Amino acid sequence: MSPPLNSPLIIISPDCPPRRGGVADHTVELARGLSAGRDVTVLTSVSGAPGNGFRVSPTVSNWQSPKAVLQAISQLPVGAGILWQYVPQMYGRGGANPGLTAVMRALRRAGRIQCLIAHEIAAPLSWWPNRLAYAVAHRYQWRQILKHVDVIGISTEAWLEEWGRRVPGYQPKFFLAPSPSNIPVVAVRPDHVQEWRRKEGLGNATHVVGYFGTLHLSKRFGWILAAWVKSQAGGRRVGLVTMGDRPTQRTPDDLKHLFKPLGYLSASEVSVALQAVDVLALPFADGVAERRTTFMAGLSHGCAIITTIGPDTGHSLRQGKFFRGIEAHQDQEFTEQLLELLEDRALGHKLGQAARQAYEHCYSWPKLVNTMNEQFARVG
């Protein structure tokens, strides 16, 4: 029998505030949403902070020990459903943890209902011996998880499609579990755009391009920088605002007054900044996906987004009409399309409205919570 919707639930996640990170934030929001009408406990590491609207049990000091994890679970409501937050690296050095699947196997034998959200599945294969060993271990571990867990949410539709083909016998267990935005939308005044730009020293800018997130080679910030420099042609004054990591690339001296690296900001500060840019540029080397929370933040804030389509992009996003997607190898096309968005404000406004609607209908926290409740309800 599947647990009723008001039955107790244990969310297992080594990452939980005060630890920082996407999974920690995701765990809090998910626990808060699922706690409506039910008792929710987050089982986490010993550094976990108290919850808000749900309980936190920070009692696991060694995730490599099946005995320790099972002992911690035994102290929580008997018969509660189990929801695993899964990124391999969270559960041990390099993400290789045979004890993890031993716990899942023991819970399955005890008749416990288990759901898992896979934010990542396995590290890429590599010629480096240590990395190759971890990558192979992740894949073996994943196949063991498939045997023991009742339903499995996968954060990226492309991965969902791939594993549905690889292991068709397990396909009925799979469902899409996107990662919603961790940046709540802050209410702003009608004159917000002009006032924010004046405050940030961009009052004379005719357009503003934004970037949000960490900087890594896979984020292709160089594409944004090149497009921004080119966008100044024809008398435009285009500002470039970055939120998150501070770029180290040199900018032309004559454009420094239009470049605003804001660094790491609070969630509310990110929200007001996102609502003041004309275009949010997010080129990913492997393509946009439902697990990209910076993309989700742009959608939820109604931004006109330009991003890339690549191996991590599933069918639904490839067909999406609520952002501008460029093939991940076409840097020149990316520049041209970004310039078009800057020039055509009506198009940008239309994309922004479609982005917000798509987020609410497909990717928001209420949508994910409903999906999780449905998945628990369908497990026999």
pLDDT in tens, 331-379: 999 999 999 999 999 999 999 999 999 999 999 999 999 999 999 998 8
Residue among 7, 166, 148, 130 nearest 80 (CA): 7
The residue ranges of every structural domain in the chain are 9-180+364-378, 192-363
Structural fold of domain 9-180+364-378: Rossmann fold (3.40.50)
Q: What angle do CA 313, 280, 260 make, to 5 degrees?
A: 135
Determine the distance from the C-alpha atom of residue 153 to the mean position of all C-alpha atoms in its chain, rounded to a whole number.
13
Count helices and strands (H / E) in the chain: 13, 13
pLDDT in tens, 261-301: 999 999 999 999 999 999 999 999 999 999 999 999 999 99
Distance CA 113, CA 373 (A): 13
Top-level CATH class of 192-363?
Answer: alpha beta
Q: Supply the pLDDT for residue 248.
A: 85
Residue whose structure tokens are 């993309």: 295
Q: Are both 9-180+364-378 and 192-363 of the same fold? A: yes
